[in-house]
Amino acid sequence: MPEDIRQVTHIDNVRLGEDERSVVIIDQSQLPNRTVYLTLRTPEQLYNAIKLLQVRGAPAIGICAGYGTYALARQWEIRDPAAFAKEFHHWKEYLNSSRPTAVNLSWALERMERVVTEHEGQSVEELLELLGKECRAIHQEDIEMCRAISEYGLSLLKDGDGVLTHCNAGPLATSRYGTALGPLFLGKEQGMDLHVFADETRPLLQGARLTSYELQKAGIDVTLICDNMASIVMKNGWVQACFVGCDRIAANGDAANKIGTSGVAILAKHYGIPFYVLGPTSTIDLNCPDGDHIPIELRDPDEIREKWYAEPMALKEVKCYNPAFDVTDHTLITAIVTEKGICRAPFEQSLAELFR
């Protein structure tokens, strides 16, 4: 594997601290100009890291939550299993309230709590050992899922293709290769010549700060564009496919992703360009019937007014609407790429089949 690719795809963005009482993350809010590692030890530090996007990307949030609940549990002096289970549930619910849209957060937390509830009667020492195995399993499974998604996604591309992506779904947001960016890294490894257009993804600029950063560092041909430039690059014939990640997929195939994704899908439909959503099966929520039932996180209006600017770019009195995500209708999605295969319409059937 070329060294530049390895340095990006194998980045250690979320890991359990050596003392197993902390979680170490790359502070993504500081990229691309500074690479800062944070050590998270308290519930408040874990909550804020997720809420303030120091760790972000649905799979990475899930990994962080798994390690985080285990690290917290290792710190407690509780030795009564019933009291331990009660304390675990309290902090699990606290962390789960940090961000509502990404289903991987609740999925990982529920999975960790099941270790406690399904082993009722075992000692706290035994529960801690099981929790340690479970959080490591969540991480390892994501590594394997990302590789499989990358291989399935690459099968949809040919040498010389132009790909437009929105937001960030690379190794920083996941583990190893990533989801929507994974096929691009894998293609580079295999000698394919792919050209990527990365939307800046306002207001948080995750496309600019993270996606273009990862692709450039890996030696992949990337061009950064403003979000409202997607139409012209499609019209120019420079885009043969759109690859995006996802934070939650409903049972009917509606998919929540970073705000602006649905607009890209509408443009792709107009220009006849296939639009692919890539994500692990852990982001599929069969209990959610459609996109209308996906909770959409609303963030601080000042992210629009003044974040990244030396001075505010709008009057303080101006109202701002700042949803973090939107929902792309399943009718706009060509296929959903998972680690178990490529799902096509009707999605109610193809997604459900993954879990049979």
Q: H or E stretch including 114?
A: helix 103-117
Backbone angles phi, psi at 206, to 5 degrees: -70, -30
Question: Which among 123, 196, 212, 208 has a CA at the least distance from the CA of 164?
Answer: 196
Identified catalytic residue from 12, 80, 227, 247:
247
The class that CATH gives domain 3-146 is mainly alpha
Beta-sheet pairing, 162-166 with 195-199: parallel
Q: Three-state DSSP class for 29?
A: helix
110 vs 79, 148, 270, CA distance in Å?
Answer: 22, 24, 40
**Active-site residue 247, yes or no?**
yes
Q: Look at residue 196 in the predicted model and tell me its pLDDT.
A: 98
C-alpha angle 346-348-349 in degrees, rounded to nearest 5: 75
Strand partners, 176: none
Mean pLDDT, contiguous 10-residue spans, the chain (356 residues): 87 95 97 97 98 95 97 96 96 95 92 96 96 98 96 98 97 94 97 97 97 97 98 98 97 98 98 98 96 96 95 96 98 98 98 95
Q: Which residues contact 271 (CB under 8 A, 6 or more apart)?
A: 234, 235, 239
Q: Which residues contact 92 (CB under 8 A, 6 or more apart)?
A: 69, 109, 112, 113
Task: Provide the token pair at 186.
Answer: 């894998």
Q: Mean pLDDT, the chain, as a whole number? A: 96
Q: Look at residue 121 in the predicted model and tell me its pLDDT.
A: 87
Euclidean distance between CA atoms 33 and 140, whole angstroms: 29
Backbone angles phi, psi at 6, to 5 degrees: -60, -40
Q: Look at residue 4 in the predicted model and tell me its pLDDT.
A: 85
The region, left, alpha or beta by phi > 0 then psi within -120 to 50, assigned to residue 197 is beta
Question: Where in 95-240 does DSSP place strands (E)?
Answer: 162-166, 195-199, 221-225
pTM assigned to the model: 0.94
Q: Look at residue 242 in the predicted model and tell me its pLDDT.
A: 98
Question: Which among 193, 183, 185, 191 has a CA at the least distance from the CA of 159?
Answer: 193
Give the other-Cβ count within 10 Å of 51's Cβ.
Answer: 16
* Cα within 13 Å of Cα(264), Cβ side: 37
Q: Look at residue 356 in the predicted model and tell me its pLDDT.
A: 87
Question: Which among 179, 111, 114 has a CA at the least distance from the CA of 143?
Answer: 179
Asked if omega into 346 is within 30° of 0 (cis), the reply is yes
- In the sheet with 248-250, reading across from the earlier edge strand, the strands are 284-285, 248-250, 255-258, 325-328
198 vs 56, 204, 243, CA distance in Å?
Answer: 18, 14, 10
The residue ranges of every structural domain in the chain are 3-146, 155-353
Question: Which among 207, 196, 212 has a CA at the least distance from the CA of 167?
Answer: 207
Q: Look at residue 28 in the predicted model and tell me its pLDDT.
A: 97
Q: Look at residue 106 in the predicted model and tell me its pLDDT.
A: 94
To the nearest 10°, the Cα dihedral for 253, 208, 177, 347? 10
* CATH number belonging to domain 155-353: 3.40.50.10470
Q: Look at residue 101 in the predicted model and tell me its pLDDT.
A: 87
Rounded to a whole number of angstroms, the distance between the first and last alpha carbons of the chain is: 36
Q: Look at residue 182 in the predicted model and tell me its pLDDT.
A: 97
